Protein backbone atom coordinates (compact mmCIF):
# COMPACT_ATOMS: atom_id res chain seq x y z
CA UNK A 1 0.00 0.00 0.00
CA UNK A 2 2.88 2.38 0.70
CA UNK A 3 3.64 3.29 -2.91
CA UNK A 4 1.89 4.98 -5.81
CA UNK A 5 0.76 1.73 -7.41
CA UNK A 6 -2.55 1.80 -5.52
CA UNK A 7 -3.46 5.19 -6.97
CA UNK A 8 -2.23 4.29 -10.46
CA UNK A 9 -4.20 1.02 -10.62
CA UNK A 10 -7.37 2.84 -9.60
CA UNK A 11 -7.03 5.46 -12.33
CA UNK A 12 -8.68 4.59 -15.67
CA UNK A 13 -6.66 7.15 -17.64
CA UNK A 14 -3.37 5.24 -17.58
CA UNK A 15 -2.83 2.58 -20.26
CA UNK A 16 -0.16 -0.08 -20.55
CA UNK A 17 1.90 2.39 -22.59
CA UNK A 18 1.79 4.87 -19.71
CA UNK A 19 2.80 2.16 -17.24
CA UNK A 20 5.82 1.21 -19.36
CA UNK A 21 6.89 4.84 -19.56
CA UNK A 22 6.42 5.26 -15.81
CA UNK A 23 8.57 2.24 -15.04
CA UNK A 24 11.31 3.43 -17.40
CA UNK A 25 11.35 6.98 -16.04
CA UNK A 26 11.15 5.88 -12.40
CA UNK A 27 14.10 3.54 -12.72
CA UNK A 28 16.17 6.23 -14.44
CA UNK A 29 15.37 8.95 -11.88
CA UNK A 30 16.09 6.66 -8.92
CA UNK A 31 19.35 5.41 -10.43
CA UNK A 32 20.71 8.63 -11.94
CA UNK A 33 19.29 11.57 -9.98
CA UNK A 34 18.27 10.43 -6.50
CA UNK A 35 21.79 9.36 -5.40
CA UNK A 36 23.03 12.94 -5.94
CA UNK A 37 20.32 14.64 -3.88
CA UNK A 38 22.38 15.51 -0.80
CA UNK A 39 25.44 16.50 -2.84
CA UNK A 40 23.56 18.79 -5.23
CA UNK A 41 21.43 20.30 -2.47
CA UNK A 42 24.57 21.21 -0.56
CA UNK A 43 26.16 22.67 -3.70
CA UNK A 44 22.92 24.50 -4.56
CA UNK A 45 23.46 23.45 -8.15
CA UNK A 46 23.25 20.52 -10.53
CA UNK A 47 25.17 19.75 -13.75
CA UNK A 48 23.69 20.74 -17.11
CA UNK A 49 24.49 17.21 -18.20
CA UNK A 50 21.17 16.22 -16.60
CA UNK A 51 19.34 17.92 -19.47
CA UNK A 52 21.47 16.21 -22.10
CA UNK A 53 21.07 12.77 -20.55
CA UNK A 54 17.31 13.18 -20.17
CA UNK A 55 17.14 14.36 -23.76
CA UNK A 56 18.95 11.23 -24.94
CA UNK A 57 16.44 9.12 -23.02
CA UNK A 58 13.52 10.92 -24.69
CA UNK A 59 12.16 12.32 -21.43
CA UNK A 60 12.11 16.00 -22.45
CA UNK A 61 9.58 15.76 -25.25
CA UNK A 62 6.94 13.32 -24.09
CA UNK A 63 4.01 15.37 -25.44
CA UNK A 64 5.73 17.11 -28.34
CA UNK A 65 5.29 15.90 -31.94
CA UNK A 66 7.49 13.11 -33.22
CA UNK A 67 8.43 15.34 -36.17
CA UNK A 68 10.25 17.59 -33.67
CA UNK A 69 11.95 14.73 -31.86
CA UNK A 70 9.25 14.27 -29.24
CA UNK A 71 7.30 11.14 -28.34
CA UNK A 72 3.88 12.35 -29.45
CA UNK A 73 2.35 11.34 -26.12
CA UNK A 74 -0.77 12.67 -24.43
CA UNK A 75 -1.50 14.58 -21.23
CA UNK A 76 -1.27 11.35 -19.22
CA UNK A 77 2.33 10.86 -20.28
CA UNK A 78 2.90 14.34 -18.85
CA UNK A 79 1.13 13.35 -15.63
CA UNK A 80 3.44 10.33 -15.34
CA UNK A 81 6.44 12.62 -15.93
CA UNK A 82 5.25 14.99 -13.20
CA UNK A 83 4.59 12.19 -10.72
CA UNK A 84 7.93 10.43 -11.14
CA UNK A 85 10.33 13.40 -11.20
CA UNK A 86 9.87 14.08 -7.44
CA UNK A 87 11.59 10.75 -6.77
CA UNK A 88 14.84 12.65 -7.35
CA UNK A 89 14.25 14.14 -3.86
CA UNK A 90 15.14 17.64 -5.12
CA UNK A 91 12.22 20.01 -5.63
CA UNK A 92 14.53 22.52 -7.30
CA UNK A 93 15.59 20.00 -9.93
CA UNK A 94 12.00 18.94 -10.53
CA UNK A 95 11.12 22.61 -11.04
CA UNK A 96 14.00 23.18 -13.47
CA UNK A 97 12.97 20.18 -15.56
CA UNK A 98 9.32 21.23 -15.62
CA UNK A 99 10.37 24.70 -16.78
CA UNK A 100 12.24 23.02 -19.64
CA UNK A 101 9.35 20.82 -20.73
CA UNK A 102 6.08 22.39 -19.62
CA UNK A 103 6.54 26.05 -18.72
CA UNK A 104 8.96 27.83 -21.07
CA UNK A 105 8.38 25.78 -24.22
CA UNK A 106 4.73 24.67 -24.81
CA UNK A 107 3.86 28.08 -26.21
CA UNK A 108 6.60 27.63 -28.85
CA UNK A 109 4.92 24.45 -30.00
CA UNK A 110 1.50 26.12 -29.93
CA UNK A 111 2.20 29.34 -31.86
CA UNK A 112 5.81 29.25 -33.05
CA UNK A 113 6.84 29.19 -36.70
CA UNK A 114 8.45 26.09 -38.16
CA UNK A 115 11.79 27.91 -38.12
CA UNK A 116 11.39 28.86 -34.44
CA UNK A 117 10.54 25.28 -33.52
CA UNK A 118 13.64 24.02 -35.29
CA UNK A 119 15.90 26.65 -33.75
CA UNK A 120 14.58 26.57 -30.19
CA UNK A 121 12.22 23.67 -29.45
CA UNK A 122 14.07 20.81 -31.16
CA UNK A 123 17.33 21.39 -29.20
CA UNK A 124 15.30 21.71 -25.97
CA UNK A 125 13.79 18.28 -26.57
CA UNK A 126 17.28 16.89 -27.20
CA UNK A 127 18.58 18.54 -24.03
CA UNK A 128 21.07 20.55 -26.07
CA UNK A 129 19.54 23.91 -25.12
CA UNK A 130 18.13 25.03 -21.78
CA UNK A 131 15.05 27.23 -21.65
CA UNK A 132 13.78 29.72 -19.07
CA UNK A 133 10.54 31.67 -18.78
CA UNK A 134 10.93 35.44 -18.37
CA UNK A 135 7.77 37.07 -17.08
CA UNK A 136 8.25 38.20 -13.45
CA UNK A 137 9.91 41.55 -12.76
CA UNK A 138 10.84 43.46 -9.59
CA UNK A 139 7.59 45.43 -9.86
CA UNK A 140 5.41 42.87 -11.62
CA UNK A 141 4.83 39.46 -10.06
CA UNK A 142 1.23 38.31 -10.00
CA UNK A 143 0.34 41.46 -11.97
CA UNK A 144 1.63 40.23 -15.34
CA UNK A 145 0.14 43.23 -17.16
CA UNK A 146 2.37 45.49 -15.08
CA UNK A 147 5.65 44.47 -16.72
CA UNK A 148 7.96 47.30 -17.76
CA UNK A 149 10.71 45.63 -19.74
CA UNK A 150 10.39 47.10 -23.23
CA UNK A 151 10.88 45.82 -26.76
CA UNK A 152 11.23 48.63 -29.30
CA UNK A 153 11.08 47.90 -33.02
CA UNK A 154 14.08 49.20 -34.93
CA UNK A 155 14.07 48.18 -38.59
CA UNK A 156 14.46 44.42 -38.78
CA UNK A 157 15.26 44.15 -35.07
CA UNK A 158 13.78 44.66 -31.62
CA UNK A 159 15.75 46.35 -28.87
CA UNK A 160 15.06 44.86 -25.43
CA UNK A 161 15.64 46.94 -22.31
CA UNK A 162 14.73 46.21 -18.70
CA UNK A 163 15.07 43.50 -16.08
CA UNK A 164 13.54 40.24 -14.91
CA UNK A 165 13.51 38.69 -11.46
CA UNK A 166 12.99 35.21 -10.00
CA UNK A 167 13.79 33.24 -13.14
CA UNK A 168 14.29 29.53 -12.58
CA UNK A 169 17.31 28.34 -14.64
CA UNK A 170 17.92 31.94 -15.68
CA UNK A 171 21.66 31.68 -15.04
CA UNK A 172 22.11 28.61 -17.24
CA UNK A 173 19.50 29.24 -19.95
CA UNK A 174 20.44 29.35 -23.62
CA UNK A 175 17.29 31.30 -24.37
CA UNK A 176 14.38 32.87 -22.54
CA UNK A 177 10.73 32.89 -23.54
CA UNK A 178 10.51 36.57 -22.71
CA UNK A 179 7.57 38.91 -22.12
CA UNK A 180 8.23 42.55 -22.97
CA UNK A 181 6.15 45.67 -23.52
CA UNK A 182 5.76 46.75 -27.14
CA UNK A 183 2.91 49.21 -26.62
CA UNK A 184 1.13 51.39 -24.09
CA UNK A 185 -2.06 49.35 -23.77
CA UNK A 186 -2.03 47.51 -20.42
CA UNK A 187 -3.02 44.15 -21.84
CA UNK A 188 -2.61 44.57 -25.59
CA UNK A 189 0.83 46.12 -25.36
CA UNK A 190 2.76 43.00 -24.34
CA UNK A 191 4.57 40.63 -26.72
CA UNK A 192 6.55 37.40 -26.41
CA UNK A 193 10.05 36.84 -27.73
CA UNK A 194 12.52 33.98 -27.93
CA UNK A 195 15.56 35.74 -26.51
CA UNK A 196 19.02 34.14 -26.98
CA UNK A 197 21.12 34.73 -23.86
CA UNK A 198 24.31 35.19 -25.85
CA UNK A 199 22.90 38.53 -27.06
CA UNK A 200 25.22 41.47 -26.27
CA UNK A 201 23.88 43.60 -23.44
CA UNK A 202 22.34 40.69 -21.54
CA UNK A 203 23.79 39.72 -18.20
CA UNK A 204 22.91 37.81 -15.06
CA UNK A 205 23.06 40.28 -12.20
CA UNK A 206 22.96 37.75 -9.37
CA UNK A 207 21.70 34.42 -8.18
CA UNK A 208 19.13 34.77 -5.44
CA UNK A 209 19.35 32.86 -2.17
CA UNK A 210 16.09 31.08 -1.41
CA UNK A 211 14.47 29.40 1.58
CA UNK A 212 14.16 26.15 -0.36
CA UNK A 213 14.39 24.65 -3.84
CA UNK A 214 18.14 25.12 -3.51
CA UNK A 215 19.24 22.99 -6.44
CA UNK A 216 17.72 25.25 -9.11
CA UNK A 217 19.23 28.66 -9.77
CA UNK A 218 16.89 31.63 -9.42
CA UNK A 219 18.20 34.85 -10.87
CA UNK A 220 17.91 38.56 -11.54
CA UNK A 221 18.60 39.44 -15.16
CA UNK A 222 19.30 42.71 -16.98
CA UNK A 223 18.74 43.61 -20.62
CA UNK A 224 20.66 46.69 -21.67
CA UNK A 225 19.53 47.67 -25.17
CA UNK A 226 19.80 44.10 -26.40
CA UNK A 227 19.27 43.87 -30.16
CA UNK A 228 17.54 40.72 -31.42
CA UNK A 229 16.17 39.97 -34.91
CA UNK A 230 12.45 40.42 -35.53
CA UNK A 231 12.19 36.69 -36.28
CA UNK A 232 12.48 36.17 -32.51
CA UNK A 233 8.97 37.61 -32.03
CA UNK A 234 6.77 34.70 -30.90
CA UNK A 235 3.25 34.90 -32.30
CA UNK A 236 1.63 38.26 -32.96
CA UNK A 237 2.91 41.52 -31.54
CA UNK A 238 0.62 42.75 -28.76
CA UNK A 239 -0.88 39.32 -28.00
CA UNK A 240 1.72 38.33 -25.41
CA UNK A 241 -0.46 38.77 -22.33
CA UNK A 242 -3.05 36.38 -23.70
CA UNK A 243 -0.38 33.85 -24.72
CA UNK A 244 0.98 33.98 -21.16
CA UNK A 245 -2.46 33.35 -19.69
CA UNK A 246 -2.87 30.42 -22.08
CA UNK A 247 0.53 29.04 -21.10
CA UNK A 248 -0.21 29.39 -17.38
CA UNK A 249 -2.88 26.69 -17.57
CA UNK A 250 -0.42 23.95 -18.43
CA UNK A 251 2.14 25.34 -15.99
CA UNK A 252 -0.29 25.29 -13.08
CA UNK A 253 -1.54 21.82 -13.97
CA UNK A 254 1.92 20.24 -13.94
CA UNK A 255 2.75 22.09 -10.71
CA UNK A 256 -0.33 20.58 -9.06
CA UNK A 257 0.50 17.09 -10.32
CA UNK A 258 4.15 17.12 -9.23
CA UNK A 259 3.39 18.70 -5.84
CA UNK A 260 0.70 16.10 -5.12
CA UNK A 261 3.07 13.26 -5.98
CA UNK A 262 5.87 14.81 -3.92
CA UNK A 263 3.59 15.20 -0.91
CA UNK A 264 2.41 11.59 -1.30
CA UNK A 265 5.99 10.34 -1.26
CA UNK A 266 6.68 12.44 1.82
CA UNK A 267 3.68 10.96 3.58
CA UNK A 268 4.69 7.39 2.81
CA UNK A 269 8.27 8.05 3.91
CA UNK A 270 6.84 9.41 7.15
CA UNK A 271 4.60 6.37 7.64
CA UNK A 272 7.63 4.09 7.34
CA UNK A 273 9.49 6.27 9.85
CA UNK A 274 6.57 6.09 12.27
CA UNK A 275 6.42 2.31 11.94
CA UNK A 276 10.09 2.03 12.89
CA UNK A 277 10.34 4.80 15.48
CA UNK A 278 9.33 3.62 18.95
CA UNK A 279 8.05 5.61 21.92
CA UNK A 280 6.68 4.26 25.20
CA UNK A 281 7.48 0.70 24.09
CA UNK A 282 5.52 0.78 20.82
CA UNK A 283 5.87 2.21 17.31
CA UNK A 284 4.44 5.66 16.69
CA UNK A 285 1.78 4.08 14.48
CA UNK A 286 0.62 2.27 17.60
CA UNK A 287 -0.90 5.56 18.78
CA UNK A 288 -4.37 6.46 17.56
CA UNK A 289 -3.46 10.12 17.12
CA UNK A 290 -0.64 9.17 14.71
CA UNK A 291 -2.84 6.88 12.66
CA UNK A 292 -5.57 9.50 12.40
CA UNK A 293 -3.11 12.17 11.26
CA UNK A 294 -1.90 9.79 8.55
CA UNK A 295 -5.45 8.96 7.44
CA UNK A 296 -6.35 12.65 7.26
CA UNK A 297 -3.36 13.34 5.02
CA UNK A 298 -4.01 10.32 2.81
CA UNK A 299 -7.61 11.45 2.33
CA UNK A 300 -6.64 15.02 1.51
CA UNK A 301 -4.02 13.90 -1.03
CA UNK A 302 -6.49 11.56 -2.69
CA UNK A 303 -8.83 14.53 -3.13
CA UNK A 304 -5.95 16.60 -4.57
CA UNK A 305 -5.06 13.85 -7.00
CA UNK A 306 -8.60 13.31 -8.24
CA UNK A 307 -9.19 17.04 -8.75
CA UNK A 308 -5.88 17.31 -10.62
CA UNK A 309 -6.69 14.28 -12.77
CA UNK A 310 -10.11 15.76 -13.54
CA UNK A 311 -8.46 19.00 -14.66
CA UNK A 312 -5.92 17.02 -16.72
CA UNK A 313 -8.72 15.07 -18.42
CA UNK A 314 -10.46 18.30 -19.44
CA UNK A 315 -7.17 19.90 -20.50
CA UNK A 316 -6.21 16.91 -22.61
CA UNK A 317 -9.57 16.95 -24.40
CA UNK A 318 -9.33 20.67 -25.12
CA UNK A 319 -12.24 21.58 -22.85
CA UNK A 320 -11.94 24.98 -21.09
CA UNK A 321 -10.78 24.22 -17.56
CA UNK A 322 -9.27 27.36 -16.06
CA UNK A 323 -11.61 26.96 -13.09
CA UNK A 324 -10.60 23.35 -12.41
CA UNK A 325 -6.87 23.97 -12.90
CA UNK A 326 -6.97 27.00 -10.60
CA UNK A 327 -8.83 24.96 -7.98
CA UNK A 328 -6.34 22.12 -8.26
CA UNK A 329 -3.33 24.40 -7.85
CA UNK A 330 -4.96 26.21 -4.92
CA UNK A 331 -5.95 23.04 -3.11
CA UNK A 332 -2.66 21.24 -3.73
CA UNK A 333 -0.63 24.25 -2.54
CA UNK A 334 -2.54 24.34 0.73
CA UNK A 335 -2.47 20.59 1.32
CA UNK A 336 1.17 20.09 0.29
CA UNK A 337 2.30 22.69 2.84
CA UNK A 338 0.07 21.16 5.49
CA UNK A 339 1.29 17.62 4.80
CA UNK A 340 4.93 18.71 4.99
CA UNK A 341 4.29 20.44 8.32
CA UNK A 342 2.42 17.52 9.87
CA UNK A 343 4.99 15.02 8.63
CA UNK A 344 7.78 17.08 10.14
CA UNK A 345 5.84 17.08 13.44
CA UNK A 346 5.60 13.28 13.33
CA UNK A 347 9.38 13.12 12.96
CA UNK A 348 9.72 15.00 16.24
CA UNK A 349 12.98 16.76 17.03
CA UNK A 350 14.87 14.90 14.31
CA UNK A 351 12.53 16.39 11.73
CA UNK A 352 14.02 19.80 12.51
CA UNK A 353 17.50 18.64 11.54
CA UNK A 354 18.96 19.41 8.11
CA UNK A 355 20.15 15.83 7.79
CA UNK A 356 16.53 14.64 7.56
CA UNK A 357 14.86 14.94 4.16
CA UNK A 358 11.60 16.07 5.75
CA UNK A 359 13.21 19.38 6.74
CA UNK A 360 14.07 19.99 3.08
CA UNK A 361 10.54 19.08 1.98
CA UNK A 362 9.11 21.43 4.60
CA UNK A 363 11.13 24.35 3.19
CA UNK A 364 10.53 23.47 -0.43
CA UNK A 365 6.75 23.08 -0.12
CA UNK A 366 6.25 26.75 0.68
CA UNK A 367 6.88 27.83 -2.92
CA UNK A 368 3.76 26.15 -4.30
CA UNK A 369 1.48 28.80 -2.77
CA UNK A 370 3.47 31.59 -4.46
CA UNK A 371 4.99 30.45 -7.75
CA UNK A 372 3.02 30.25 -10.98
CA UNK A 373 0.25 32.37 -9.51
CA UNK A 374 -0.23 32.79 -5.78
CA UNK A 375 -3.10 31.28 -3.81
CA UNK A 376 -4.71 34.71 -3.72
CA UNK A 377 -4.57 34.97 -7.52
CA UNK A 378 -6.09 31.49 -7.84
CA UNK A 379 -8.96 32.55 -5.59
CA UNK A 380 -9.55 35.68 -7.64
CA UNK A 381 -9.65 33.68 -10.86
CA UNK A 382 -12.11 31.19 -9.38
CA UNK A 383 -14.29 33.93 -7.91
CA UNK A 384 -14.56 35.64 -11.32
CA UNK A 385 -15.49 32.35 -12.98
CA UNK A 386 -18.19 31.95 -10.30
CA UNK A 387 -19.50 35.40 -11.25
CA UNK A 388 -19.03 36.64 -7.69
Residue 211 and residue 232 in contact, taking contact as beta carbons nearer than 8 Å: no
Residue tagged active-site, from 220, 251, 300, 324: 251
What letter would DSSP give residue 64?
Answer: S
- Concerning whether 251 is annotated as a catalytic residue, the answer is yes
Q: What are phi and psi of 282, to 5 degrees?
A: -155, 160
Helices 240-276 and 91-98 pack at an angle, to 10 degrees, of 150
The rounded distance, in Å, linking the Cα atoms of 84 and 202 is 35
Residue 30: CB atoms within 10 Å: 14
Give whole-number Cα distances, 381 to 142, 224, 387, in Å: 12, 35, 10
Nearest 5°: phi and psi at 151? -130, 110
| 208 in Cβ contact with 169 (< 8 Å) | no
DSSP states along 205-245: EEEPP-SS-TTS-EEEEEEEEEEEEGGGEESSTT-HHHHHH
Question: Which residues, at least 6 apart from 216, have a Cβ–Cβ distance to it below 8 Å?
Answer: 46, 92, 93, 95, 96, 168, 169
- CA 135, CA 128: separation in Å to the nearest integer? 23
Q: Which of 129, 141, 131, 143 is nearest to 103 (CA)?
A: 131
Give yes or no for a contact between 134 and 107, defined as CB atoms under 8 angstroms apart: no
Q: How far apart are CA 274 and CA 233, in angstroms?
A: 54
Q: Which of 154, 181, 180, 157 is nearest to 229 (CA)?
A: 157
Euclidean distance between CA atoms 214 and 217, whole angstroms: 7
The 3-state secondary structure of 301-321 reads: HHHHHHHHHHHHHHHHCCCCC
| Active site (catalytic) residues | 251
Amino acid sequence: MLDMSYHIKNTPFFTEEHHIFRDQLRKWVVANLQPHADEWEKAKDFPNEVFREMGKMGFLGVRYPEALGGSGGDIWHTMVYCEELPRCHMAGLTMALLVQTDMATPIINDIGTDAQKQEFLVPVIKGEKIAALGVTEPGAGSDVAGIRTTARRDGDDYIIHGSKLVLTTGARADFITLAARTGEDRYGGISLFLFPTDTPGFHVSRKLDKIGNHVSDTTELFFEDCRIPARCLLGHEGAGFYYIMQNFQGERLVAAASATAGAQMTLYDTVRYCQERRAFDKPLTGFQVTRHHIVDMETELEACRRLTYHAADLFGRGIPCQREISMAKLMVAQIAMSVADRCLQLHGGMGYMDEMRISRVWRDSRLMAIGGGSNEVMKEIISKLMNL
